């Protein structure tokens, strides 16, 4: 076996230098293409083919099928099917096999068990390994070394020698990065808290995380070891989960350095949950740049960058609320306001939501005015006078949007100036938003999750867990979402078995999120490959103490 492996390796490097020579010839002919010996450029060229469907010549990758259903450019990219990790997945009844070096070239396999694709149910290991030449032939013709022709779903690619060489080099990098935060006995995770996160909510979140981790470790310790210690089973039962709290302390521009220091001192496999305030962007950029999977259920102002891969959010938060209002303003049967006034406090997340709504409303021809209250509720009445003065200046045919916390909403007086008042449920406190009675009848609250009445049945389980754990319910939404994100992480990891590849964790999180039935606050969560916000809609509701749960839905579930 080892002799054969060495033989294949020698053959491999011989054909590689042939390919490298060919690369030189083609690059001379094609101008800006990659040069021989240019390692990083070659890998980058292969990555562009795999991920974007872009050829080194600048042309589009073309995938051919006998049926004529050809694919081009991004649609032809290998990543679409084999995924970023190269570890494949199951789509309906089609098994998309792993195509990392470990599986194709059988690198380092000493026995057949090492290649068993435990993470993809139903995929049997192939007999015989590929080398560069037979892999190139497969990609061009669809014929495997054993003579079998691949399912026509897999396109054929007439790649030139240089492109093929770059692509094969890139395939060899897949799954080869040593995993961070994974030791023989422990899986390390971090949670990230920014200095401006609400302290009560932070404590509530940390308690849920710590209890869940402790429970998980008790479960692992109690599990009966199987008699045969095959590698994947051993990993599964013996690794303890360890939580690290990365509390950021300085100004936002220092967070990146703080996070890098934390990661260097304590490598982690993933970030689970976290809590922010007005600026999450430095954390988002850190996750993406350092390629750390981050499952983030509690961020009310996330970064919208759906081309990014590693940070995964539950919802677009206040930005989704802005979209719900924008859609309502131009809905049929709703009289278009002459002017829209938005009020927010400086330094809170409402400023970004107000800007997002202003952009959309302006496009619809509505005049928008944004009014900023001072950051710290200054003066003896905390700026309430100023708020009331702005409100007093609004006419009956205008609309008002309040991006304010409950303490500001509670200071409103009299009757609302217009029938068109909107406020943010996430910021105002959802069903506990302390809006004065006369405002409640008119004001529409954005509610980007199921109403209390609709989610009641699904809340039995998380609330029951908190109860059994003796954890007081102090921040129900964050506690529930944090609990479920732990459940989702455990489920995703359970499916991965020994494939500790960060990209594969993200793909598994996508799948687990999409197939869960019980999600606490959300009617449905789902992440198609490439989507980064699991819940995509919400309601407009009225606050009403008389209604069960404190709110009445004033719209259907909207997905703007
Ligand atoms: C539209 C989906 C799709 C795309 C795009 C795609 N593949 Fe595949 N690929 C498949 C499927 C499905 C199979 C399994 C077919 C079978 O088993 O008959 C497969 C099989 C393979 C295999 C054989 C693995 C083995 O175990 O024998 C390799 C290698 C491969 N693909 C590489 C690539 C590369 C490289 C690209 C991009 C240039 C690519 N594929 C693009 C769907 C796709």
Tell me: the pLDDT tens digits for 52-68?
A: 999 999 999 999 998 98
Give the residue-averaged pLDDT of 69-91: 92
74 lines ligand 1 (CB under 6 A): no
Q: Do 240 and 134 fall within a single domain?
A: no
99 lines ligand 1 (CB under 6 A): yes
Q: CATH number of the domain that 475 lies in?
A: 3.40.50.2300
Rounded Cα distance, 233 and 524, in Å:
32
Between 99 and 43, name the one with better pLDDT. 99
Between 94 and 411, name the one with better pLDDT. 411
Choosing from 171, 198, 224, the residue where a domain stops is 171
Residue nearest to atom 27 of ligand 1 (CA): 144
Residue 255 has pLDDT above 90, yes or no: yes
Choosing from 145, 171, 197, the residue where a domain stops is 171
139 lines ligand 1 (CB under 6 A): yes
Q: CATH number of the domain that 354 lies in?
A: 3.40.50
Q: According to the model, what pLDDT value does residue 457 have?
A: 85
Q: Give the distance (Å) from ligand 1 centre to CA of residue 78.
A: 7
Whether the predicted model's global pTM rises above the 0.75 cut = yes
pLDDT one-digit tens code per residue, 493-533:
988 877 889 999 999 999 898 887 778 888 888 888 788 99
* Contacts (Cβ under 8 Å, ≥6 apart) of 514: 525, 526, 527, 528
| Residue 232 CB-half CA count within 13 A | 17
* 560 lies in some domain: no
Q: According to the model, what pLDDT value does residue 15 have?
A: 36
Best residue among 84, 86, 87, 97 to mutate for probing ligand 1, ranked by most atoms within 8 Å of CB? 97
% of the chain exceeding 90 in pLDDT? 66
User: Which of left, alpha, beta for 49 (phi over 0: left; psi -120 to 50: alpha)?
Assistant: alpha
Q: Do 96 and 43 fall within a single domain?
A: yes
pLDDT one-digit tens code per residue, 104-122:
887 655 555 555 555 666 5
Give the residue-averaged pLDDT of 17-42: 45
Q: Which CA distances in Å does 525 have to 270, 447, 522?
A: 20, 16, 7
Q: According to the model, what pLDDT value does residue 27 have?
A: 35
Q: Do 193 and 153 fall within a single domain?
A: no
Q: Do 298 and 385 fall within a single domain?
A: no
Q: Do 545 and 404 fall within a single domain?
A: yes
Q: Do 379 and 307 fall within a single domain?
A: no
* 194 lies in some domain: yes
* 536 lies in some domain: no
559 lines ligand 1 (CB under 6 A): no
Q: Do 13 and 101 fall within a single domain?
A: yes
Q: Do 260 and 286 fall within a single domain?
A: yes
Q: Do 368 and 226 fall within a single domain?
A: no
Q: According to the model, what pLDDT value does residue 107 have?
A: 61
89 lines ligand 1 (CB under 6 A): no
- The domain of 30 spans 2-171
* Contacts (Cβ under 8 Å, ≥6 apart) of 460: none
The tally of domains found in the chain comes to 3
Residue 26 has pLDDT above 70, yes or no: no
* 106 lies in some domain: yes
* 179 lies in some domain: no
* 337 lies in some domain: yes
Closest CA relative to residue 42, chosen from 60, 16, 68: 16
* 526 lies in some domain: no
Q: According to the model, what pLDDT value does residue 125 have?
A: 64
* 231 lies in some domain: yes
Choosing from 124, 142, 171, the residue where a domain stops is 171
Best residue among 61, 63, 72, 82 to mutate for probing ligand 1, ranked by most atoms within 8 Å of CB? 82
Residue 231 has pLDDT above 60, yes or no: no
Residue 230 has pLDDT above 60, yes or no: no
Q: According to the model, what pLDDT value does residue 441 have?
A: 83
Q: Do 94 and 162 fall within a single domain?
A: yes
Residue 158 has pLDDT above 90, yes or no: yes
Q: Do 163 and 192 fall within a single domain?
A: no
Q: Do 165 and 20 fall within a single domain?
A: yes
pLDDT one-digit tens code per residue, 332-342:
989 999 999 99
């Amino acid at each position: 076996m080892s002799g054969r492996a060495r033989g294949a390796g020698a053959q491999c490097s011989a054909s590689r230098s042939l390919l490298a020579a060919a690369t030189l010839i083609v690059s001379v002919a094609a101008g800006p293409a990659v040069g021989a010996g240019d390692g990083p450029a070659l890998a980058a060229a292969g990555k562009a083919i795999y991920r974007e469907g872009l050829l080194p010549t600048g042309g589009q990758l073309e995938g051919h099928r006998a049926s004529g259903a050809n694919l081009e450019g991004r649609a032809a990219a290998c990543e679409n099917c084999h995924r970023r990790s190269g570890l494949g997945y199951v789509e309906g009844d089609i098994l998309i096999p792993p195509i990392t070096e470990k599986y194709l070239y059988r690198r380092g396999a000493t026995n057949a068990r090492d290649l068993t694709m435990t993470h993809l149910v139903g995929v049997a290991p192939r007999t015989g390994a590929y080398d560069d030449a037979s892999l190139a032939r497969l990609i061009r013709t669809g014929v495997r070394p054993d003579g079998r022709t691949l399912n026509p779903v897999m396109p054929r690619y007439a790649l030139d020698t240089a492109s093929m060489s770059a692509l094969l080099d890139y395939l060899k990098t897949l799954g080869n990065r040593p995993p961070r935060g994974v030791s023989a006995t422990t899986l390390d995770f971090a949670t990230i808290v920014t200095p401006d996160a609400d302290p009560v909510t932070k404590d509530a979140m940390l308690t849920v995380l710590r209890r869940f981790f402790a429970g998980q470790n008790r479960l692992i310790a109690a599990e009966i070891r199987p008699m045969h210690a095959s590698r994947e089973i051993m990993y599964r039962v013996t690794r303890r989960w360890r939580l690290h709290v990365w509390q950021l302390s300085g100004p936002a521009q220092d967070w990146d350095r703080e996070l890098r220091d934390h990661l260097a001192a304590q490598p982690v496999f993933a970030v689970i949950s976290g809590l922010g305030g007005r600026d999450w962007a430095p954390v988002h950029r850190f996750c993406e740049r350092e390629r750390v999977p981050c499952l983030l259920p509690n961020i009310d102002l996330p970064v919208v960058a759906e081309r990014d891969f590693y940070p995964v959010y539950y919802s677009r938060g206040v930005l989704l609320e802005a979209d719900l209002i924008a859609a309502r303003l131009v809905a049929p049967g709703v009289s278009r306001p002459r002017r829209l006034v938005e009020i927010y406090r400086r330094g809170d997340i409402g400023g970004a939501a107000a800007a997002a709504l202003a952009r959309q409303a302006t496009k619809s021809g509505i005049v928008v005015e944004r009014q900023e209250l001072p950051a710290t509720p200054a003066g003896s009445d905390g700026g309430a006078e100023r708020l009331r003065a702005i409100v007093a200046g609004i006419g009956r045919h205008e609309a008002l949007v309040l991006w304010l916390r409950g303490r500001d909403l509670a200071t409103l007086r009299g009757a609302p100036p217009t029938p068109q008042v909107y406020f943010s449920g996430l910021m105002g406190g959802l069903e506990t938003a302390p809006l004065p009675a006369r405002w409640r009848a008119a004001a529409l609250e954005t509610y980007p999750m199921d109403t209390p009445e609709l989610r009641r049945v699904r809340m039995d389980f998380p609330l029951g867990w908190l109860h059994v754990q003796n954890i007081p319910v102090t921040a129900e939404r964050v506690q529930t979402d944090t609990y479920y994100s732990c459940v989702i992480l455990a489920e995703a990891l359970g499916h991965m078995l020994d494939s500790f590849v960060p990209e594969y964790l993200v793909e598994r999180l996508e799948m687990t999120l999409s197939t869960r039935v019980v999600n606490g606050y959300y009617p449905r969560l789902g992440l198609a490959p490439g989507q980064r916000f699991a819940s995509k809609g919400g309601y407009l509701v009225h606050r009403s103490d008389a209604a069960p749960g404190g709110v009445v839905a004033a719209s259907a579930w909207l997905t703007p």
